Amino acid sequence: MNKAFLAPGLLLVLVAIGGRYTLDRAGLLDLAWVDLRVIGLLVALVFLGLACSAGPSWKKVGREGWLLAALLFFLFQIASALWAPPAARIGPQTLDLVLLGVLVLAFYRYSLSDPETVTRFTFQLFFVTAIVYALAAIFISGPGEQGRYSAFGGGPNVFARIEVLGVISAVALFMLTGRILPLLVIPLFLLATVLSGSRGTLVAGGVVGFAALLKLRHRLRGGAIAAAGLVAVVAVGAIWALAPPEFTDLFQERFVEQTVQEQYLSGRTDIWMAAADMFIDYPVAGSGLDGFYGLIGVNQAVEYPHNYVLAVAAEGGTAGLGLLTVSIVLWTRIVRGGGARPQLTGLAVAATVFVALSGLFSGDYYDSRLAWMFAALAAASALVPARATAPVPVMAR
């Protein structure tokens, strides 16, 4: 596939990975108002228009009700600013949701053009990104104030998501190409994930990994299981031997002492209970956009509920939960079974579910962007009719 087709995908993924990147993070304080997401999306849309007009187009795939429900959900969230409390941060939250909707719609349209190429390219990008982030965190950024690692000014939880997506991407590239080299980088990704100290991300990754093994249990041979076990042992040994001294301290303090012995969850349970109480107080349409911060967080220095579903319940009520549920149900019906490309769809679904589960422990609305993007990729892979000339993945031969 030519570079002109890959350009919009590269830009869309970079915008998604970069998050809220304003120029003050690069030291240009006078240009703090410049939001690179807006610029990146505008340029990506131009390239996308050029690529789609020159390349193959799938206009009648049907069954896109999930996307319509998702866009209606975003619009409802924006409209809920009308009844949000005075202290709510309406402007930034509205911009986040608008950019989220445009990003998802653009990536879905891009994926429809050639699901095989887009899926492979997307996982290649996340594989390389995870390597760059891991090396930058370990050798450049180092531990933060809490001893947790991250890269390029982002938070540890988002950093950990990228690293686990790197693991999924390594597995995906192995399945699509048959090359074992991507699997050899997994220890680096796991090391970086542990150094992030993100317990919720590790739980989400573990759940997705266990579910994948459970689904593939009848296809796995004894030799493959033994090889996987050997790789796991080597990975753990490599991590323990090559990890920096801070690794054992962080592991002991955050995962053993705080989590197991003290059962400390960074105040998550109190925050979640407050969000649940808000849903009880505003059951129909919620408290409005950013209502949690406007009513509770502004007084307790808590930015958001740290749980995507509870945030929707508290700020969107039953109406918001209903739209979100409709979108998820319609999407599940599409991707169940894999559709036209079971293997590609399954890989994208795994990434979607992982990010979605991570959102139950941390992150705000815009932090869900990767889940929505991979959901769009999975839907496109399942819906677009397979072409006779399409290459057969190595692992499916």
Query: Which helix (DSSP H) or strand (DSSP E) does residue 16 occupy?
Result: helix 3-18
Model pLDDT, residue 392: 40
- Residue 393: pLDDT band by 50, 70, 90 thresholds? very low
Q: How many CB atoms lie within 10 A of CB 140?
A: 9
Q: How many CB atoms lie within 10 A of CB 376?
A: 27
Residues 36-65, mean pLDDT to the nearest whole number = 79
Average pLDDT score over the chain: 84
Q: Read off the pLDDT of residues 139-179 as tens digits, 9 standing for 90 and up.
A: 888 777 777 888 887 888 899 999 999 999 999 999 898 88
User: What is the percent of the chain with per-residue pLDDT over 90, rounded to a whole number?
Assistant: 50
pLDDT greater at residue 337 or residue 247: 337
Q: How is residue 144 written in tokens?
A: 């933060």
The strand pairing partners of 22, in sequence order, are: 35
Residues 332-337, mean pLDDT to the nearest whole number = 92
Q: Read off the pLDDT of residues 197-233 as tens digits, 9 standing for 90 and up.
A: 888 888 898 899 888 878 776 665 555 556 566 666 6
Model pLDDT, residue 63: 81
- Residue 397: pLDDT band by 50, 70, 90 thresholds? very low
Model pLDDT, residue 245: 61
Q: Read off the pLDDT of residues 235-250 as tens digits, 9 standing for 90 and up.
A: 666 666 666 666 555 5
Cα separation, 198 vs 203, in Å, equals: 9
Q: How is residue 168 written in tokens?
A: 């999924």
- Residue 106: pLDDT band by 50, 70, 90 thresholds? very high
Query: In Å, what is the CA distance from 40 to each residue of 3, 113, 170?
Result: 18, 20, 27
Q: How many CB atoms lie within 10 A of CB 242?
A: 12
Which residue, chain included where needed, has tokens 């689904």? 215
Model pLDDT, residue 394: 41
Residues 110-116, mean pLDDT to the nearest whole number = 91
- Residue 263: pLDDT band by 50, 70, 90 thresholds? very low
Model pLDDT, residue 159: 92
Model pLDDT, residue 229: 62
Model pLDDT, residue 363: 86
The strand pairing partners of 149, in sequence order, are: 143
- Residue 388: pLDDT band by 50, 70, 90 thresholds? very low
Model pLDDT, residue 214: 80
Domain ranges in the chain are 3-396
What's the CA angle centered on 40, arms 185 and 59, to 5 degrees?
A: 90
Which residue, chain included where needed, has tokens 């929707």? 312
Q: Read off the pLDDT of residues 367-383 as tens digits, 9 standing for 90 and up.
A: 999 999 999 999 999 99
How many residues can be counted in the chain?
397
Residues 37-60, mean pLDDT to the nearest whole number = 78
pLDDT value at 346 more than 60: yes
pLDDT value at 43 more than 80: yes
- Residue 103: pLDDT band by 50, 70, 90 thresholds? very high
What's the CA angle centered on 215, arms 212 and 216, to 5 degrees?
A: 85
Model pLDDT, residue 244: 60
Model pLDDT, residue 249: 59
